[in-house]
Amino acid sequence: MKTTNIAALLTDFGALDPYVGIVKGVIKSLSPRASLIDLAHEILPQDVRSAAFHLMVSVPYFPDGTLFVAVVDPGVGSSRAVLYAETARHRYLAPDNGLLSWVFRKQPPRVLRSVENDALFLSPVSRTFQGRDVFAPVAGHLLGGMKSKRLGPPYQMKTRIPFPEPVRSKNKIQGEVLVVDRFGNLISNIGEREMRGRRLRVRVGRSKMLPLCPSYSEGPDKAPFVVRGSFGFLEVAVKNGNAAERLKACVGDELSAEVSS
Amino acid sequence: MKTTNIAALLTDFGALDPYVGIVKGVIKSLSPRASLIDLAHEILPQDVRSAAFHLMVSVPYFPDGTLFVAVVDPGVGSSRAVLYAETARHRYLAPDNGLLSWVFRKQPPRVLRSVENDALFLSPVSRTFQGRDVFAPVAGHLLGGMKSKRLGPPYQMKTRIPFPEPVRSKNKIQGEVLVVDRFGNLISNIGEREMRGRRLRVRVGRSKMLPLCPSYSEGPDKAPFVVRGSFGFLEVAVKNGNAAERLKACVGDELSAEVSS
Amino acid sequence: MKTTNIAALLTDFGALDPYVGIVKGVIKSLSPRASLIDLAHEILPQDVRSAAFHLMVSVPYFPDGTLFVAVVDPGVGSSRAVLYAETARHRYLAPDNGLLSWVFRKQPPRVLRSVENDALFLSPVSRTFQGRDVFAPVAGHLLGGMKSKRLGPPYQMKTRIPFPEPVRSKNKIQGEVLVVDRFGNLISNIGEREMRGRRLRVRVGRSKMLPLCPSYSEGPDKAPFVVRGSFGFLEVAVKNGNAAERLKACVGDELSAEVSS
């Protein structure tokens, strides 16, 4: 496949500590010309599901050949495998804990390997920071041009996180809040294309029915409303405000949509 | 004008979500050699005024030809225009919502265009994330060497945010707190050069008169004082402490200065 | 010594303001091909000790020749010197306030200079933001290939922060919590190699004795435990939880370890 010198990094390491910087130091030691892009590092500690969502919505916008290094890894130091994967357009390093499940919904993997060649790792490998000791040096070798065959043997992914598919009936669809973003927008699991009709209305938990608006700026003042979100899902927003706070809503809350045609 | 491959990014997208990373992915897809610098992304959601301040004080320190991509855009998806501007030294992409007003105080624009050539955008253009669908691909094309003429027709800026000029009298000047920084320093709108004299004292709201000190470390212990700030404005600080907390002060509070010569 | 175009930046400037971005703008103005890595910027304001720890544990993972620019500088604008240092592998710019003390424990400096050549600085030099006016342009010149001799004369470091060595007895060692990381892990000052034996147990303050576990995932559910941390120190953790919250522990708290062989 086509490769680039670009790696996109997704972790739960945060900005408080130098963990992300250390990972970059290791990568640059092995591949000085690597170009490193931060996808997100403020994922809640060990929140593999959020990481799976972030990756799913981000991946299509990156150059062909980009290497995604995703380390949200509550099983660090256990026997969970480290995965290398290739899809039609991109490359991935991640623990086998479901993190790649949602990105593979649209882009199934063509190559899957278990990363086992410890000659590529830092030595000794710690049991607590394999972002530094395993993922970073392997990424550095790959970005430096090493063939992926050298990583380890072909592998079958063991852990999947099922995507929470909404429950469909004729004019109604019952879903949930998948993610709350920094603006307080509630991003649902309901595909925006599924719900076409004269009048689309959404309810979060026991809220009133909320109207559909074409953009944030065209929403009503202060009251929550629905938009067709930029990731292909229905979203609930408040103009210049915070829908999560207004509706006291959070991840996992029921969100249902109705169409009258 | 001289151009570079450097873009500086200023948004209110935060670090929680992958929005900034996605913007970078789009830019790098079109201009793999672009060098991307984060100016700030933690601007309060939709706080155009803070973004205008950040840009004003940052721009002079960037290389000639730098492209500033500034997306704090409460009007996303509405009919507000997307601006391309050139000053003597730099290039800008921003919504026409006043964001560029303060940077133009000292560096008036020589070129202003409305970005309308939708062949340059991602397709379809969402109504909620034009940082990804409009600003990023246009930035990618410009950094890749595309002529700015192709963006769209010449344009007159429609929205300006007036700079809050302080009210001057002979030995006194009445201003306000323009910004509170992460250290709790209160940055005022009073130019530090205007107030020269034997004895400069400042008051915030109804506080006591605060003395002028040459640097943070020469300030008194625990009590607030004034310094000539690094952006050319008078600032109120507390040594190893937080002036905003100490004085219970926030953006917009009155701050006045007196000189006795 | 070998040099690279890589600089690693460590400051307490935070993400709220454009301070870090401005520093990068100045560096890139002087050295357009510089590759800039963020080590950490969310160090608590003026917390030189945390910065010293971050630097100590990060430095070994960076390429030979990397220039570390460390600006946590409560004495900015005072007469404290600005240091340039070289160890066997790396280069440093930092205020002479102890920030480099712990990195020099294992890698003593071979070259130490006082940065005094103000022809290299921005003009005028502010008394409050020398990250921009002194550190950044000096870093830019060094990354652009300038010889370090031009910075200023040889110098003796004046300020050291002593490393808090634990107190050792036969089967016991009395230490403290050195750092709390974003996961709530308590990182101690007790070297993990010192404490070998059949049964290692740790106590934080007046807590129960906590057992040693090989990794986070092998720890007990909900109860705190000890791991041999990735930086070479004993750490206290809670699996999928936060040890600092669970034990109401913070930096400086007593942490002691016992071995029964």
CB of C76 within 8 Å of a chain B CB? The answer is yes
Write the pLDDT tens digit of every residue in C67-86: 999 999 999 988 999 999 99
CA distance C238 to C66: 35
Residue C100, strand partner residues: none
The whole-number average pLDDT for the span A182-208 is 89
Q: Which two tokens stand for residue C148?
A: 């370090």
DSSP state of A126: P
β-strand pairing of C91-95 with C82-86: antiparallel
Testing the interface with C: which of A5, A12, A13, A17 to mutate, by most C Cβ within 10 A? Answer: A17
Indicate the pairing of strand A186-191 with strand A233-237: antiparallel
Q: Which two tokens stand for residue C150?
A: 């031009």
Q: Which amino acid is at C103?
A: V
Gap between the Cα atoms of C233 and A55, Å rounded: 33
Closest chain B residue to A180 measured between Cα atoms?
B17
DSSP-derived secondary structure letter, C144: T
Model confidence pLDDT, tens digit, residues A99-153 = 999 999 989 999 999 999 999 999 999 999 999 999 999 999 999 999 999 999 9
Q: Do C217 and A75 touch (CB under 8 A)?
A: yes
Q: Give residue B171's pLDDT.
A: 85
Give the pLDDT confidence of C111-160 residue by residue, as tens digits.
999 999 999 999 999 999 999 999 999 999 999 999 999 999 999 999 99
Looking at chain A, the number of H-run helices and the number of E-run strands are: 5, 14
Please give the average per-residue pLDDT across A9-24, as a whole number. Answer: 97
DSSP β-ladder status, B254-260 and C91-95: unpaired
Please check whether residue C25 touches B, CB under 8 A. Answer: yes
| CA pair distance B232, C234, nearest whole angstrom | 48
pLDDT(A199) > 90 = no
Q: What is the pLDDT of residues C198-249, one digit of tens each?
A: 688 999 999 999 999 999 989 998 899 999 999 999 999 999 899 999 999 9
Q: Among candidates C65, C59, C40, which has minimal Cα distance to C142?
A: C65
Question: Which pLDDT score is estimated for C261?
Answer: 66
Give Cα separations from A14 to A44, B180, C236 (angstroms): 9, 24, 19
User: Any chain B CB within 8 A of the CB of A62?
Assistant: yes
Query: Quick one: tokens of C32?
Result: 């357009």
Q: Which two tokens stand for residue C112?
A: 């130490």
> Looking at the predicted structure, is the pLDDT value of residue A1 above 90?
no
Distance from CA of C173 to the nearest CA of A (A): 23
Please give the pLDDT value at position C222.
Answer: 86
* For range A48-74, the mean pLDDT: 97
Whether the per-residue pLDDT at A83 is higher than 90: the answer is yes
Give the minimum alpha-carbon distance from A67 to chain B in angstroms, rounded to a whole number: 12
Residue B48: CB atoms within 10 Å = 22
Cα-based distances in Å from C260 to B234, B240, C172, C234, C235:
62, 45, 9, 16, 19
How far apart (Å, rounded) are the C-alpha atoms in residues A24 and A103? 24
- Chain C: give the shortest CA distance to residue B9, in Å: 9
Q: What is the pTM of this model?
A: 0.96
Residue type, B37: I
C201: enclosing H helix or E strand: strand C199-204
CB-nearest partner of B24 from A37, A215, A229 = A37
% residues pLDDT > 90 (chain C): 89
Q: Which residues contact C38 (CB under 8 A, 6 or more apart)?
A: A20, A21, C8, C9, C20
Residues B6, C28: C-beta atoms closer than 8 Å: yes
Which amino acid, residue C23? Answer: V
Q: Could you give the CA distance from residue A175 to residue A187 in angstroms, rounded to a whole number?
A: 11
Please say if the pLDDT value at position C195 is more than 80. no
pLDDT at B261: 65
DSSP string, B53-87: HHHHHHGGGSPTT-EEEEE--TTTTSSPPEEEEE-
| Average per-residue pLDDT for chain A | 95
- With contact defined as beta carbons under 8 Å apart, do C134 and C214 qualify? no
Closest chain C residue to the Cα of A35, Cα to Cα: C35
Is residue B199 over pLDDT 90? no
Q: Which of residues 211-250 of C touch A (CB under 8 A)?
A: 214-218, 227-230, 235, 239-240, 242
Name B44's Cβ contacts closer than 8 Å, sequence gap at least 6: B12, B50
Chain segment B59-70, per-residue pLDDT in tens: 999 999 999 999
Contact assignment for A21 to C35 by CB distance below 8 Å: no
How many C-beta neighbours within 10 Å does residue C125 have? Answer: 15
How far apart CA B94 and CA B71 sit, in angstroms, is 6
- Position A37, amino acid: I
Identity of the amino acid at B119: A
Q: Which residue is associated with the tokens 């984060």?
A: B38
Residue from the list C37, C214, C217 with its beta carbon closest to the beta carbon of A21? C37
* Distance (Å, whole) CA B250 – CA B248: 7
For residues C185 and C237, what is the distance between their CA atoms, to the nearest angstrom?
A: 5
Q: What is the DSSP letter of C169?
A: -
pLDDT for A222 equals 86
| Residue B142 DSSP SS3 | helix
pLDDT band at B144 (very low <50, low <70, confident <90, very high): very high
Distance CA C211, CA C195 (A): 13
Q: Quick one: pLDDT at residue B193?
A: 80
Residue C3: band (very low, low, confident or very high) from pLDDT cuts 50, 70, 90: confident
What's the confidence (pLDDT) of residue B136?
Answer: 98
Neighbours of C148 (CB within 10 A): 18
**Which residue(s) pair with C211 in the sheet?**
C201
Q: Is the bond into B124 cis (omega within 30 degrees of 0)? A: yes
Chain centre distance of CA B5: 21
pLDDT band at residue A261, thresholds of 50, 70 and 90?
Answer: low
Q: Is residue B198 classed exposed, middle or buried when 0-12, 13-18 and 19+ CB atoms within 10 A define those classes?
A: exposed
| pLDDT score for B259 | 86
Q: What is the pLDDT of residues A230-253, one digit of tens each?
A: 999 999 999 989 999 999 999 999
Chain C CB contacts of B38 under 8 Å are 20-21
Inter-chain residue contact C216 with A18, CB threshold 8 Å: no
Half-sphere exposure (CA, 13 Å, Cβ side) for A214? Answer: 7
Confidence of residue C19 (pLDDT cuts 50, 70, 90): very high
The fraction of chain B above a pLDDT of 70, given in percent, is: 99
Encoded tokens for A169: 């009936």
Beta bridge partners of A9: A38, A69
Instruction: Mark C239-259 as b/e (b = at least 16 C-beta within 10 Å).
Output: bebbbbebbebebebebbbbb
Phi, psi of A218 (to 5 degrees): -95, 5
First to last CA, chain B: 46
Neighbours of C149 (CB within 10 A): 12
Q: Which residues of A touch C182 (CB under 8 A)?
A: 13-14, 16-17, 45
Quick one: which H or E segment has residue C56? helix C48-58
Contact call for A76 and C216, based on CB within 8 A: yes
Starting at the earlier edge strand, list the strands of the sheet with B82-86.
B35-40, B6-11, B67-71, B91-95, B82-86, B111-114
Q: How many CB atoms sit inside 10 A of residue C25's CB?
A: 24
Distance CA C129, CA B57 (A): 13
| Distance, CA of C15 to CA of C37 (rounded, Å) | 15
Using DSSP's 3-state secondary structure scheme, residue B203 falls into strand
